[in-house]
Every structure is written in structure tokens, then in C-alpha cells.
């Protein structure tokens, strides 16, 4: 018979495992509450509390308790207590898409006259078993985000463990038949509804900002609209098309798409990053490899703008922030970093000379990512005339 002391020690150990988070990350934590609908089908109330540890790791504790029937004279029973701490590794980021999990399982049970599927534990159809079980398991799962606060999650796996129990005849106060110890195999499966606390940050997107170009004071003159004398140059030609072959950051304007949170920027190769100190939005050219990155952006832009067959149509700037701090602070920091990169871009002499009103910058911010800013250029052909 399980003692209150055993349950207390296991519960305290599991809570301490969930609470083992550094003080510096408290504000960055995201928690989840989930309910396994398949487990509910056995009329067992259950709940899992999850806590984010880092971008790709999380901890959790699952508990289930089936106290029925309370009338000891009822022969058929599925009474049990289950506690299962687990750790999960997420391929993309916590609570998004694929994950692998490892768990420890403890259960105290009193089961009789229960027919399990697939012919498992046939002796329980004619006997009552009461005892304890411990196991270690692994599983694979997938989580579908359903909005800011909800996910749908499924997982499947297996566990192997050891159990020690007493055997009784079925019925109230059945005769004891003996006791056994054995290694046991357990399948694992679940379909869960998940609630995210405090929820994913709302998308914050700034307006499109046209670069400010300082022009020298000149007398007012009438400027006639430009009318090309030839047909447009074919797509993907000119210097921009050549640069695209060796620079993934350069893309044709037809490939442009606004940023959204489903994109995992750290896995994209077609971008250039500049870096900032933790919690700062001041862009220093001497920090890490920022100078080389900015020089590369300027040089690529210069080569495209000096080619008469191409032009820069859009430069996409995305500000990022790590997950330390509150969502509102991170959103503000990310936007300021994007604006800092835009300001540096304006002050570079080659850009001031070459970029005109046909070039647009799209400012977007995103929290819970690397401490940097991301830039990408899109080009398109232009028409030219022969005098």
C-alpha cells in the first residue's frame, strides 16, 4: 500500500524539477496547462503543467487520479494515481511543431476486472492487482498552434518499467493469491488541448518608411516624367541577377513576402545579421562582425544601383530580441533595433547618393529570437532609354 510520505516526496521532487529555473529567466518563462483527451476517455481527471526552459527545451509534470469506485463492494475497479515528470526537446521552438520527450512514470494502482485493448495484461480480467509501478519512457509528438492561447497536441511512444503488486481474487475482500514482481512494457499516447500562459505576443508591425534623402537647395525647375524608349529589360538579368547567384540576401522582387511569425529566422540562410549588446538598441560598427556586414550591404546595393538594368525595390529590415524580459519590452527593443539599422543605412554615403524614392524599407519587429537585426534586399528590372 502506498504511503502518504511516498506521494509527498515524489510530488515535491517533481515540483522542484519544474521550479529549477534561474532568477534571470523568470520573466521569460512561458507556462502551459494541458489536458489529455485520450486519458479523459478512461474517466481519469488529468492535467499537465509545462514550463519553458529555453528556446528549444521545456519541462513538464503530468498528474492523473482515478478514485472511483468509492464503494469497496464494487468488484470492477480502475483506481490509480499517476505522476510523470518529463523533459521535451522541440525541433523549431517550444510549443511549435515537432518534439521529442522523455519521462519518468510512477503509479499506485488497484485494478480488477478491466479488459485492456490489444490483449494487454489479461490476468486483470479475472484478478485484482494492487501495487506500485515505476517506468522510464520516450515519445514523439507534434503541436499545432491554434492562436495566441491554444494548441492542439498529439504524441505517441512507449515506456519500460518495473512493478510489484499483490494478487487477489476478484470481488469484495477476495482471497489473496500471492505477490509478484515483473518488468512491464507500457504504450504511451495522447491527444491534448493546451492553454498557453501568458499567450504568444501580438504581432507588432511598423508602417512602411520611406528613406529621407537630403537634397541640395536648387532653384525650382519643371521635371518632365521619364518615359522609357525601349521595352523593359528581361527579368533576372543585369548585375542584380548576377549578384543573386552568390548572395542569397538578394532576391527578385517577385519573391518578396512580408515577415510573419511562422518563419524561423535563425534557420534562413538568405539574410544578413547585425548584432547588439544584450538589452541595447545602439548599433556599433565595432561590435562583433557588424562592420563587415554593413560594408557588404553597402557594396551589394552600390553594384545594383550603378547598373542601368536593375534597381533596389525593397530592403526588408526586421528587428529581433531575445526572450529575456516581458513581451512588451521585447517588442519595443526589437523595433528600436530595426530603426537603428535604418538610421545607419541612411548615413552611409553610398546609400544616400544611390537610393531614391523608388526604394522602400519595411520595418518589422519580433521578440523571442536572437539579439540582432535582419536585412534582405529585393531587386527588379527597370527600363532605360537611348538618346
Local mean pLDDT, 10-residue blocks, the chain (387 residues)? 46 46 43 96 96 94 93 86 97 93 97 84 87 98 92 97 93 83 95 90 58 56 57 59 76 76 69 83 85 85 79 80 78 86 71 43 45 53 32
pLDDT for 308: 75
In our burial notation (b when 16+ CB lie closer than 10 A, e otherwise), range 83-96 reads bbbbebebebbbbb
**Residues 175-219: tens digit of each pLDDT:** 889 999 999 999 999 999 999 998 877 655 555 555 555 555 555
CA 287 to chain centre: 28
Radius of gyration of the chain (CA): 31
Q: Is 241 left (phi over 0), alpha (psi -120 to 50) or beta?
A: alpha
Where do the DSSP E strands lie in 240-371? Answer: 250-252, 272-275, 310-320, 360-366
Q: How far apart are CA 61 and CA 53, in angstroms?
A: 14
pTM: 0.52
Contact between 271 and 249 under an 8 Å Cβ cutoff? The reply is yes
Q: How far apart are CA 367 and CA 51, in angstroms?
A: 18
Contact between 364 and 338 under an 8 Å Cβ cutoff? The reply is yes
Q: How far apart are CA 290 and CA 339, in angstroms?
A: 16
Amino acid at each position: 500500500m502506498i504511503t502518504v510520505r511516498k506521494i509527498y516526496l515524489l510530488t515535491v521532487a517533481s515540483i522542484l524539477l519544474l521550479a529549477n529555473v534561474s532568477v534571470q529567466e523568470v520573466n521569460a518563462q512561458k507556462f502551459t496547462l494541458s489536458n489529455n483527451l485520450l486519458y479523459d476517455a478512461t474517466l481519469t481527471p488529468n492535467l499537465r503543467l509545462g514550463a519553458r526552459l529555453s528556446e528549444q527545451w521545456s519541462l513538464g509534470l503530468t498528474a492523473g487520479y482515478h478514485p472511483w469506485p468509492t464503494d469497496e463492494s464494487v468488484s470492477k475497479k480502475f483506481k490509480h494515481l499517476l505522476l510523470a515528470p518529463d523533459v521535451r526537446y522541440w525541433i523549431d521552438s517550444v510549443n511549435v511543431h515537432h518534439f521529442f520527450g522523455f519521462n519518468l512514470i510512477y503509479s499506485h494502482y488497484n485494478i480488477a476486472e478491466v479488459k485492456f485493448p490489444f490483449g494487454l495484461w489479461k490476468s486483470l480480467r479475472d484478478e485484482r492487482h494492487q501495487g506500485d509501478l515505476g517506468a522510464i519512457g520516450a515519445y514523439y509528438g507534434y503541436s499545432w498552434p491554434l492562436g495566441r492561447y491554444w494548441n492542439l497536441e498529439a504524441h505517441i511512444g512507449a515506456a519500460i518499467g518495473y512493478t510489484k503488486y499483490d494478487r487477489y481474487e476478484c470481488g469484495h475482500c477476495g482471497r489473496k493469491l500471492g505477490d509478484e514482481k515483473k518488468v512491464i512494457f507500457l504504450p504511451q499516447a495522447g491527444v491534448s488541448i493546451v492553454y498557453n500562459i501568458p499567450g504568444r505576443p501580438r504581432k507588432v508591425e511598423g508602417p512602411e518608411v520611406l528613406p529621407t534623402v537630403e537634397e541640395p537647395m536648387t532653384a525650382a525647375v519643371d521635371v518632365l516624367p521619364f518615359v522609357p524608349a525601349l521595352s523593359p529589360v528581361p527579368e533576372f538579368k543585369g548585375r542584380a541577377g548576377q549578384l543573386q547567384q552568390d548572395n542569397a540576401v538578394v532576391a527578385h522582387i517577385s519573391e518578396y513576402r512580408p515577415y510573419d511569425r511562422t518563419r524561423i529566422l535563425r534557420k534562413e540562410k538568405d539574410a544578413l545579421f547585425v548584432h547588439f549588446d544584450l538589452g541595447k538598441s545602439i548599433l556599433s560598427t565595432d561590435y562583433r562582425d557588424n562592420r563587415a556586414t554593413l560594408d557588404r550591404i553597402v557594396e551589394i546595393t552600390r553594384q545594383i544601383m550603378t547598373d542601368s538594368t536593375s534597381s533596389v525595390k525593397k530592403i526588408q529590415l526586421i528587428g529581433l530580441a531575445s526572450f529575456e524580459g516581458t513581451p512588451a519590452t521585447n517588442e519595443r527593443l526589437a523595433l528600436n533595433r530595426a530603426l537603428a539599422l535604418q538610421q545607419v543605412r541612411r548615413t552611409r554615403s553610398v546609400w544616400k547618393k544611390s537610393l531614391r524614392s523608388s526604394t522602400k524599407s519595411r520595418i518589422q519587429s519580433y521578440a523571442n529570437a536572437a539579439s540582432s537585426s535582419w536585412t534582405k534586399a529585393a531587386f527588379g528590372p527597370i527600363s532605360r532609354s537611348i538618346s
